[in-house]
Amino acid sequence: MKLFIKSALMAAAIAFASPVLAQNIIVVSHGQANDPFWSVVKNGVEEAARDTGATVSYRAPETFDMVAMSQLIDAAVNQEPDGLVVSIPDGDALGPSIQRAVAAGIPVISMNSGSNVSKGLGALLHVGQDEYDAGVAAGEKLAALGGTVGICVNQEVGNVALDLRCEGFAEGFGGPVTVLPTSNDPTEIEAKVKASLESNPDVDTIMALGAATAGEPSVAAVKGVGRAGEVLVASFDMSPSFLNSIIAGDAAFAIDQQQFLQGYLSVNFLALNAKYGLMPGGNVPSGPNLITADKAEQVIELSAQGIR
């Protein structure tokens, strides 16, 4: 009898000491982790994994490729994770794969892009900013600063989120706006912005859609054509260099969507859902916040650390 009790106590102790199986969560985004913007998202994902104890993997196509991204989502569904986080730059292209995940009973949260289609595809909620409204706010601010003729530098034409930023900017700005399509190559962006400024001297406002990819080259282009102080430059998102340009007066402001929160909260919500069945009742706005010169110094250090 004593031996039985001892064995039972040992078994109970072992069971008590055994860790609860970690939740398995997969993140599929359209942005590579080596991109300065997406590296911050990935930092948020990794911190949430540490805080929750979940097993989390971050996956993205090598380039902006919706076919490759849909295949990554399909592969994730086949692994039957406890949760799936997706960005949705193109609802038409990615919709069938996301709906397949929902049909399989996998909880899905969208982040960053896709706020306008997320619910219709079956996602539980979206963590991000409303891109059109953020563009409107940026356009209104630049018009208030004296801008009259603008260009919107779009490094991923076809990415619905970026297209909405340009559309919102044009609406809020009020004056003539030309969309300048480019690649993600900063050298190409600088050359195209220079050419645009030289071909149309009336352009006095530049709206960039990514600080490191387009904002920094736009600042360099303005200096390159000798129009520093004459042309307003603003950008979505942040980088240490662009923040320094704001402080120096070479750029007007940055739009912070707090992408760290997009990665962190999405994973955190899915981990809590798998563990306790908890989930917020609606979308979670992570931005926008306008970072002007008076705020830039406060966030430079955090930006350099990959948090802002």
70-116 confidence digits (pLDDT tens): 999 999 999 999 999 999 999 999 999 999 999 999 999 999 999 98
pLDDT for 179 equals 97
Q: Is the pLDDT of residue 126 over 80?
A: yes
Q: Given its phi and psi angles, is residue 237 left (phi above 0), alpha (psi -120 to 50 degrees) or beta? A: left
pLDDT for 10 equals 42
pLDDT for 30 equals 94
pLDDT for 7 equals 43
Question: How does residue 22 score in pLDDT terms, banded at 50, 70 and 90?
Answer: low
Question: How does residue 20 score in pLDDT terms, banded at 50, 70 and 90?
Answer: very low
Question: How does residue 161 score in pLDDT terms, banded at 50, 70 and 90?
Answer: confident
List, in order of start, the domains of the chain with CATH numbers: 12-128+258-277 (3.40.50.2300), 131-256 (3.40.50.2300)
Identity of the residue numbered 101: A
Question: How does residue 24 score in pLDDT terms, banded at 50, 70 and 90?
Answer: very high
pLDDT for 271 equals 97
Question: How does residue 9 score in pLDDT terms, banded at 50, 70 and 90?
Answer: very low
Question: How does residue 52 score in pLDDT terms, banded at 50, 70 and 90?
Answer: very high
pLDDT for 4 equals 39
Token pair belonging to 308 = 């802002």
Q: Is the pLDDT of residue 8 over 90?
A: no
265-286 confidence digits (pLDDT tens): 999 999 999 999 999 999 999 9
pLDDT for 193 equals 98
Closest to 128 in 3D by CA, of 153, 97, 92, 164: 164
Average pLDDT over residues 128-140: 95
Q: Is the pLDDT of residue 14 over 50?
A: no
By three-state DSSP, how is residue 252 classified? Answer: coil
pLDDT for 303 equals 86
* Least-confidence region, from 95-99, 159-163, 178-182, 252-256: 159-163
pTM: predicted TM-score of the whole model, two decimal places: 0.80
pLDDT for 36 equals 83
Q: What share of the chain is helix, strand, coil (3-state, %, to 5)?
A: 50, 15, 35
DSSP annotation of 119 reads G
Q: Is the pLDDT of residue 212 over 50?
A: yes
pLDDT for 87 equals 97
Is the CB of residue 265 less than 8 Å from the CB of residue 258? no
140-151 confidence digits (pLDDT tens): 999 999 999 999
pLDDT for 2 equals 43
DSSP string, 24-43: EEEEE-SS-TTSHHHHHHHH
